[in-house]
């Protein structure tokens, strides 16, 4: 087979690529922030004293972790209008990504909470701290340290998963790849370029995470 790799045909489409990359970044960032918030709520449910709430939290986590994101996106985008909820591509993708990622975030946060020794709560309570003070000054800093690395993994997982948003017509990097590929017939080139964009995005996040982590936890403060 004779295939000549050339970027010349792709050149005119690079302007749209930047826009697409911005969409990917914006969509992923929002989904990450929102899924941390939702995941925190679910992690708290799973530690509730009430069995019903614990079960509810567990059911949510298991549904989200055991169904393909693509299916969730389709449900949100195509099935929801049937019950009168009509969402734009972007909002549908954001909602689907958030719901899915929250399942994983909940488990990461729950693990972080479990890792705080019971004696820490007792020591803080015995000093007369309120629930909020215990959380703010004793529990959260320790949870944050524990979840820092897995949280980074999840951030990257969301960025990569956001490529499925192209299936519900969000004009992100993956969508650019398909559109430009089919109009220019240079599929191989567009695939490679898309891969590089995702790689650069994720590695930037990864390196930033490492550097920030090194700075945050600079003293010999490991447990």
Partner 1 sequence: MSEILALDGVVKRFGARTILDGISMKVSAGEIVCFVGPSGTGKSTLLRCVNGLEPIQGGSISFEGAPVLAQTASIRAVRRRVGMIFQHFNLYPHLTALENVMLAPVVVHGEARAAVEARARGLFDTVRLSHRINAYPAQMSGGEQQRVAIARALCTNPHLLMFDEPTSALDPETVGDVLGVMRDLAREGRTMLVVTHEIRFAAEVGTRMVFMDQGRIVEEGDPRQMVASASTERARQFLGAINH
How far apart CA 25 and CA 111 sit, in angstroms, is 27
Site for partner 1 (CB under 8 A): which residue of 9, 29, 67, 133?
Answer: 133
Of 32 and 109, CB closest to partner 1 = 109
Q: Which positions from 141 through 160 interact with partner 1, judged by CB under 8 A?
A: 141-142, 145
Question: CA nearest 166: which of 52, 35, 29, 27?
Answer: 27
Contacting partner 1 (CB under 8 A), which of 119, 214, 215, 218? 119
Calpha distance 97→70 (Å, rounded): 9
| Nearest distance from C-beta of residue 122 to partner 1, angstroms | 6
Return the closest-CA partner of residue 165 out of 65, 91, 60: 91
Residue with tokens 């693990």: 111
Q: How far apart are CA 83 and CA 102, in angstroms?
A: 24
Of the candidate spans 44-52, 80-88, 118-126, 182-190, the one that interacts with partner 1 by CB under 8 A turns out to be: 118-126
CA dist 27 and 162 (Å) reads 7
Is 129 a binding residue for partner 1 by CB under 8 A? The answer is yes
Distance, CA of 173 to CA of 19 (rounded, Å): 8
Tell me: does residue 111 bind partner 1 (CB under 8 A).
no
Q: Is 117 in the site for partner 1 (CB under 8 A)?
A: yes
Find the part of the chain contacting partner 1 (CB under 8 A) among 6-14, 16-24, 85-93, 129-137: 129-137
Q: Counting contacts by CB under 8 A, is residue 49 touching partner 1?
A: no
CB of 216 to partner 1, least distance (A): 10
Identified binder of partner 1 from the candidate list 48, 127, 182, 204, rule CB under 8 A:
127
Rounded to whole angstroms, the Cα distance separating 136 from 131 reads: 9
């Amino acid at each position: 087979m004779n295939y000549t790799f050339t970027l010349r045909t792709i050149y005119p489409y690079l302007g749209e690529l930047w826009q697409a990359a911005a969409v990917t970044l914006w969509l992923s960032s929002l989904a990450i922030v929102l899924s941390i918030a939702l995941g925190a709520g679910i992690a708290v449910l799973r530690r509730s004293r009430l069995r019903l709430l614990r079960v509810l939290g567990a059911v949510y986590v298991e549904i989200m972790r055991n169904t393909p994101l693509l299916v969730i996106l389709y449900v949100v985008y195509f099935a929801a209008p049937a019950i009168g909820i009509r969402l734009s591509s972007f909002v549908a993708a954001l909602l689907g990504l958030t719901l899915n990622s929250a399942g994983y975030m909940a488990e990461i946060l729950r693990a972080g909470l479990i890792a705080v020794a019971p004696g820490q709560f007792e020591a803080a309570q015995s000093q007369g701290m309120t629930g909020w003070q215990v959380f703010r000054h004793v529990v959260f800093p320790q949870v944050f340290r524990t979840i820092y690395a897995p949280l980074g993994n999840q951030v990257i997982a969301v960025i990569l998963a956001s490529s499925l948003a192209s299936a519900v017509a969000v004009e992100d990097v993956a969508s650019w790849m398909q559109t430009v590929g089919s109009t220019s017939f240079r599929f191989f080139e567009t695939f490679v370029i898309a891969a590089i964009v995702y790689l650069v995005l994720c590695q930037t996040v990864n390196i930033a995470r490492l550097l920030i982590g090194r700075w945050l936890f600079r003293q010999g403060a490991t447990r």
